[in-house]
Amino acid sequence: MSQEVDQPGADDSQAPRRSIRSFVLRQGRMTVGQTRGIEQGWPRYGLTVAEGALNFTELFADKPVTLEIGFGMGQSLLAMAKAAPEQAFIGVEVHKPGVGALLASALAEEVDNLRVYNEDAIAVLEQCVPDASLARLMLFFPDPWHKSRHHKRRIVQPAFAELVRRKLKVGGVLHMATDWQPYAEHMLEVLSAAPGYQNQAADGAYIERPAERPLTKFEARGERLGHGVWDLKFTRTE
Provide the annotated active-site residues: 143
Q: What is the 3-state secondary structure (H, E, C) of the chain?
A: CECCCCCCCCCCCCCCCCCCCCCECCCCCCCHHHHHHHHHHHHHHEECHHHCCCCHHHHHCCCCEEEEECCCCCHHHHHHHHHCCCCEEEEECCCHHHHHHHHHHHHHHCCCCEEEECCCHHHHHHHCCCCCCEEEEEEECCCCCCCHHHHHHCCCCHHHHHHHHHHEEEEEEEEEEECCHHHHHHHHHHHHHCCCEEECCCCCCCECCCCCCCCCHHHHHHHHCCCCCEEEEEEECC
Residues 216 and 72: their CA atoms lie apart, in Å, by 11
